[in-house]
Homo-oligomer: A and B are copies of this chain.
Amino acid sequence: MEELVVLRLGHRPQRDKRITTHLALCARALGASGMVYSGERDSKLEEGVRDVVERWGGSFWVRYTASWRRELREWGGRVVHLTMYGVPVQEAVGEIRAWGGPLLVVVGGPKVPGEVYHLAHWNASVTNQPHSEVSALALFLYLLQGEEALTHTFPGAKIEIEPTPRGKKVKTGKL
């Protein structure tokens, strides 16, 4: 994927801190380049994500935008909006993958403006049931990339885990 970025709409620092952090970390772990978020600016959120990148490696970035509309309009590629109202992601993903250029993945907040549905090239649903932005994003990134989603590497890591069937092993660094 040439460029894969997540746009998180309508962040509210009090209420959404952990959900938005989980979205960013999920995006990073599954190979996105970065995450833009709208709503309210949240320096603690940004610090938390940057701290993970500093320790766990890679070049994932996070930044605030005062205008999600501008982000959508000025994005030099295509846009997929994850929503429980959209067409089944498993049906849309072949076409999305075939596009192959820069992809912006929009993940909603509490009330997504109708305009988003129209600015997106695809509105895709990860089931038509209520669950979580985090699970929707994770499943979309997996379906998009296949097993490659689970094997990204993170250059410059200070901490690396050694997979083990029992207990905890750290290959590099300290948790």
Binding site for B on A (CB under 8 A): 15, 18-19, 22-23, 25-26, 28-30, 52, 56, 83-90, 114, 117-118, 122-123, 125-132, 134-139, 142, 147, 150-152, 154, 160-161, 163-169
Contacts and interface: CB of A to CB of B under 8 A. Distances in A.
B161 A125 contact: yes
A126 to B, nearest CB: 7
Report copies per complex: 2
A141 to B, nearest CB: 9
A150 B85 contact: no
A36 to B, nearest CB: 18
Nearest to A167: B117
A164 B56 contact: no
